[in-house]
Structure 1
Amino acid sequence: MSAIEPTARPPAAPRERTRAHVYCRPPEPVVFPEAEEAPETNLHLELRTALYLSLKRELAQVATLGSNQFVYWDPTTSRKRLAPDAFVRLGVPHRTFRTWKTWLHGAPDLGVEIVSESDEGEPDWDEKLARYRASGIREVVRFDPDDRARPIRIWDALDGDLVERSADDPDLRACEALGLWWTVVEDPSIGPMLRLSRDREGRDLLPTPDEAEAQARKAEARTREAEVKAREAEAQAREAEAQAREAEAQAREANKTLEAEVAALRAQLAEAKGKRRTRATLPGLTGGGELRPCSARRSAGGGEPRPRDAARRAAGGRPPAPAPSGSPSSPSTPKSARTTSPPERRAHGELARAARLGP
């Protein structure tokens, strides 16, 4: 007869206690402190705060950031904790919190330790590094401002371990967690500072709050200057437009004046040409300077034609040959017959000028 295997049953749901038991002691809840009195030098405060605020300014939209707050990774004890000088958890926008519990929020992606004189009462670096390893933080940066040879040392989480990067690693200062670069900047007031840059050479630094404020003031000043220049350019444009309109009006007025002068000159020229044509077509002038018929000119000397004109007509239009001087057959012409009046001479002069000028 074969044995019958027992049927697997789901675990029973916990029942509510119906009896009041007697216990040897009350339960002891696990308390996770939010803070602990620890000395901090002013220099350490300056370095820590500058780094935290620059990180927050750059990453607050995509990450939660902390500084000097406890990070707990074991829910059964409060002794397993860290207090990084700065830490970053990506994927969640920044918010305020009292403590960071990895079983609730996940382990930070980056933790930073700044060495200072106040670290004398804390565990040595090997023990602190073991705590970072247990917490699950995947990138740990240690900055020692007094170590001029190797101020920056970095550990990465590899296969459950934290392994330090070699000093001859060409990408030693790459911040893999954030996609940035670590660099050391000499500050005139506090000395070497741990900074983050967008480029390998450290030229494009994430600004500190003071630097960001100075940059904002400069940008505001440049904006105001640009606005002033724009207003000046607009005023100059309006002035130039007004000058152009005035010049156009002056040009129109000058054109009108010129057209009037040209019309007046044309009228004067036409009048002068009409007078010249009239003088050229009339055969003579009156005694007062007006044109008169030729018969009137012939009768001006006494009513009879002059002997010279009669002889020219008798000879067929050719003037007669002059008679020898003193010849009895050529009586001398009286002086009064050869003389013309002043008005007649003026008329003949004007006719001659008109003939030379042409129509």
Structure 2
Amino acid sequence: MRSAAKQLIVDPTFYPETDDMGVGELQQLMREMLRPMLARFLAERGIVAHVGSNQFIYWQQFAPTRSIAPDIYVLPGVPQSRVEKIWKLWEESVVPSFCLEIASNDFHTDYVAIPNACDEIGVSELIVYDPEPGGDDERITWQVFRRGSKRARLEQVLRTDAASVRSTQLGCWLTVVGKGDERRLRVARDAAGRDLYPTAAEVAAAARDAENAARDALRRETATRESLEVEVERLRAELAVAQGRKRKPTRR
């Protein structure tokens, strides 16, 4: 007979997969660009991780209100190919190493509740980006929270209106590009945000440009070679004529 500790626990709790809250279009466009970019960036460095977006992450069994749905999150060691409707951290034995929250009009949620929840979960690094800084609520463009050790609290280490902030967990900078409704969050390799990691569309465009350039170079090389071959044949013909004249016998 199995011990009680080894018996399966039946969990009747309903853990929602979605909620009724909408999301701003700018926030959605930022997520849609950044998530696949971060997934490629980590994969190219040989890092196994799952980069997800806006899924419920539950961290306490039997407590469906104990959840967050970060705009971007990274689960270390979890393959990107894995697909889940929700994450139950007590089943995974893993917590997000990184979370990004794009602030909305709900100041308390984005500035207080999310950092507190990430602290309780054990998130190593949280970055909060606010596209509408300023105002009476002391909103600011970037907040960075980090945990000094596994047992330490998640503490705010940076508040800034700079264009870029560094993520120690991702190994890159996050930077704002564009103006107004064209603003997007990008991965950068430098603090100035000039060395941008390319999007998939930019990679494809660069590959097409390189292919077209190689094709043009080949055409030029072929045209040059054919022109030289024509010139060589012309010179050979002239040489043959000249040699024929030299060999022609002189009449007496």
Question: What TM bracket, shorter-length normalisation?
Answer: 0.7 to 0.9
Q: Secondary structure at the match of 1:190?
A: helix
Question: 1:102 is matched with which residue?
Answer: 89
Q: Distance in 1 between matches of 2:74 and 2:3?
A: 40
Structure 1 length-normalised TM: 0.58
1:53/1:157 CA distance change after superposition, 3 Å: same
Q: Counterparts of 1:61-72 in structure 2 under 5 Å?
A: 62-72=48-58
1:160 and 2:160 are equivalent in the alignment = no
Question: 1:136 is matched with which residue?
Answer: 122
Question: 1:32 is matched with which residue?
Answer: 15
Q: Counterparts of 1:279-318 in structure 2 under 5 Å?
A: none
- Counterpart of 1:151 (choices 138, 141, 147) is 141
Question: 1:258 is matched with which residue?
Answer: 246
1:67/1:252 CA distance change after superposition, 3 Å: same
Letter in 1 for 2:117: R
1:221/1:205 CA distance change after superposition, 3 Å: closer
| C-alpha RMSD over aligned residues | 2.8
Letter in 2 for 1:133: D
Q: Secondary structure at the match of 2:233?
A: helix
1:264-297: CA deviation from partner (whole Å, max 9, x where unpaired): 28xx5xxxxxxxxxxxxxxxxxxxxxxxxxxxxx
Question: 1:114 is matched with which residue?
Answer: 102
- Counterpart of 1:195 (choices 157, 172, 186) is 186
Structure 2 length-normalised TM: 0.80
Letter in 1 for 2:86: T
Unmatched runs of 5 consecutive residues or more in structure 2? 5-9
Q: Secondary structure at the match of 1:112?
A: strand
Question: 1:181 is matched with which residue?
Answer: 173
Q: Distance in 2 between matches of 1:259 and 1:182?
A: 81
Q: Distance in 1 between matches of 2:20 and 2:51?
A: 21
1:79 and 2:92 are equivalent in the alignment = no
Letter in 2 for 1:147: P
Question: 1:299 is matched with which residue?
Answer: none
Question: 1:58 is matched with which residue?
Answer: 41
Pairwise CA distance, 1:185:
1.7
Q: Secondary structure at the match of 1:51?
A: helix
Unmatched runs of 5 consecutive residues or more in structure 1? 1-11, 16-26, 269-359
Hey, which of these two has a bigger chunk of helix by percent?
1
Question: 1:323 is matched with which residue?
Answer: none
Q: Distance in 1 between matches of 2:60 and 2:152?
A: 16
Do the aligned partners of 1:60 and 1:93 also contact (CA within 8 Å) in 2? no
1:259/1:135 CA distance change after superposition, 3 Å: same
Question: 1:230 is matched with which residue?
Answer: 218
Runs of 4+ that moved beyond 3 A: 12-15
1:201/1:138 CA distance change after superposition, 3 Å: same
Pairwise CA distance, 1:222:
4.1
Q: Secondary structure at the match of 2:177?
A: strand
Question: 2:234 is matched with which residue?
Answer: 246
Q: Secondary structure at the match of 1:173?
A: strand
1:180/1:124 CA distance change after superposition, 3 Å: closer
Q: Secondary structure at the match of 1:255?
A: helix
Q: Distance in 2 between matches of 1:108 and 1:253?
A: 84
Larger Rg: 1
Q: Distance in 1 between matches of 2:219 and 2:184?
A: 43
Pairwise CA distance, 1:181:
1.0
Q: Distance in 1 between matches of 2:66 and 2:247?
A: 104
Letter in 2 for 1:80: R
Higher relative contact order (CA 8 A, sep 6+): 2
- Counterpart of 1:41 (choices 19, 24, 27) is 24
Q: Secondary structure at the match of 2:187?
A: strand
